[in-house]
Amino acid sequence: MNRRYFLKTGAAAAVFLAGIPMLTTGCRNSLRSRLMNGQPSTEIPGLSADGYRILHYASLAPSGHNSQPWFVKINTPDHWTIGLDPDRRLPVVDKNNTEALLSIGAFLENLVQAAAAHGYRVHPTIIAKDRFDPDFNPDLVSLRLEKTQPENMDLHRLTSRRTVKSHLSDRQLTPGDVNAFSRLTDGHLFYFAKGTTHADHMAEQAVANYIIQMENTAAVKEMAKWTRLKDSTIKEHRDGLTPAGMEIQGFAGWYVRHVMDPVDVTGQAFIDKGIEKIQQQAKEGAGWLVIIGDGNTVSDMVASGRRFQRMALEAKNRMIAIHPMSQTLEETRGQKHITENHSSGTIPHFMLRVGYLDKYPDPVSVRRPVTWFVKI
């Protein structure tokens, strides 16, 4: 072991454990706001200023590893196509494109809500085949935009939503909140309160399947590929998992941003700390929400992504954190456990840890500008 390695791994272990809140997340927030303002920067032929803003709001949608797997073609000013960028798939942990399609669903939901606020009704049609093959044709959804009266939509919900992983209270969700979420997901929702056998089982499976992934070199390499540690890399890519997004705060956050190299993400010290973090997270919160689908076609996944996003946008108003933990559904062993423990025919699309928050933190994850994902 050379001296630099010793210093790096030893110090990494110490700072992850300490998590000293020395450097606030404030500078991370300013990185996001400095990079993202939603104002048209360059003219895109066929795209109006409203169209640009609508796509900016759409891009604030969550996605697995923040890979932002969407592209948009502007066919004419009122006819767009949303597609799945083959280079932004996660072929190891998401080999069937489930999460990519759920993320596109969330993108579409944001797009529809932002369009309504700007005076457009969106008519989406799924054009992909039932079984999606991005190597064959990555186009997914065709959109027609119809001019109408602007609706009174609260777009602040789109800019302020984020994934929250820490400081979730154990207090059970109230029936009022569960019912509101159930309505927003068209009844495709189950809530398993903390302390129930089902919730314990989900927490165990989240940890067990995360460990399985961390023992899989290909899955670790894929995670490393989407990890952006330094501010300069974040600015260059505007996607991926950042220290702030992973909620590595304080001195630990400073350390990973300034001292670690991308290759260290595949090292045992980083992996072990990641597992400790997941073990800690799985213990926290009010239990688990599961969003189920009607099937596994492209339409089913996009519908689930939209339902999820409607709920996630409302969660902030109710001071509820939502944390997708997808590893159980990604791994064959995890899927088997979940299938055995639910009634037959249940198709879980999302496993989400939930819990009330005292403070809903500002969003920190970055997005690519509209000009980077629009194809003319």
Ligand X SMILES: Cc1cc2nc3c(=O)[nH]c(=O)nc-3n(C[C@H](O)[C@H](O)[C@H](O)COP(=O)(O)O)c2cc1C
Between 103 and 299, CB nearer to ligand X? 103
Alpha-carbon separation of residue 238 from 61, 165, 231, 325 (angstroms): 14, 21, 10, 23
Alpha-carbon radius of gyration of the chain: 20
The answer to whether 227 contacts ligand X (rule: CB under 6 A) is no
* 298-315 helix and 175-184 helix, angle to the nearest 10 degrees: 140
How far apart CA 352 and CA 115 sit, in angstroms, is 28
Q: How far is the CB of 137 from ligand X (least distance, A)?
A: 22
The answer to whether 163 contacts ligand X (rule: CB under 6 A) is yes
Instruction: By CB under 6 A, name the one of 227, 326, 334, 355 that touches ligand X.
Output: 326
How far apart CA 101 and CA 183 sit, in angstroms, is 22
Q: Which stretch binds ligand X (CB under 6 A): 16-24, 170-178, 180-188, 323-331?
A: 323-331
Q: Which residues are within 8 A (CB) of 6 and not within 5 positions of it... i.e. 6 or more apart?
A: none
Instruction: By CB under 6 A, name the one of 300, 327, 337, 352 that touches ligand X.
Output: 327
Instruction: By CB under 6 A, name the one of 51, 69, 243, 324 that touches ligand X.
Output: 324
Do residues 143 and 91 touch, judged by C-beta distance below 8 A? no
Between 50 and 253, CB nearer to ligand X? 253
State the residue for tokens 């409607």: 310
Q: How far is the CB of 132 from ligand X (least distance, A)?
A: 15
**DSSP alpha helix (H) spans, 260-376:** 268-283, 298-315, 327-330, 332-340, 370-373
Q: How far is the CB of 143 from ligand X (least distance, A)?
A: 20
Instruction: By CB under 6 A, name the one of 265, 363, 370, 373 that touches ligand X.
Output: 363
The answer to whether 205 contacts ligand X (rule: CB under 6 A) is no
Instruction: By CB under 6 A, name the one of 88, 162, 277, 307 that touches ligand X.
Output: 162
Total number of residues shown for the chain: 376
State the residue for tokens 């989400």: 352
Binding to ligand X by CB under 6 A, coded x per residue (else -) over 263-302, reads: ----------------------------------------
Closest CA relative to residue 28, chosen from 301, 247, 211: 247
Name the helix (H) or strand (E) containing 84: strand 79-84
Name the helix (H) or strand (E) containing 292: strand 287-292
Contacts (CB under 6 A) with ligand X, residues 44-103: 62-64, 66, 99, 102-103
Instruction: By CB under 6 A, name the one of 180, 325, 338, 370 that touches ligand X.
Output: 325
Q: Which stretch binds ligand X (CB under 6 A): 75-83, 123-131, 268-276, 325-333?
A: 325-333
Alpha-carbon separation of residue 209 from 90, 203, 220, 280, 330 (angstroms): 17, 10, 13, 15, 8
Between 36 and 241, CB nearer to ligand X? 241
Q: Which stretch binds ligand X (CB under 6 A): 137-145, 181-189, 295-303, 322-330?
A: 322-330
Tokens of 357: 């928050």
Instruction: By CB under 6 A, name the one of 12, 55, 106, 313 that touches ligand X.
Output: 106
**Where do contacts with ligand X occur on this chain (CB under 6 A)?**
62-64, 66, 99, 102-103, 106, 162-163, 241, 245, 324-327, 363, 365
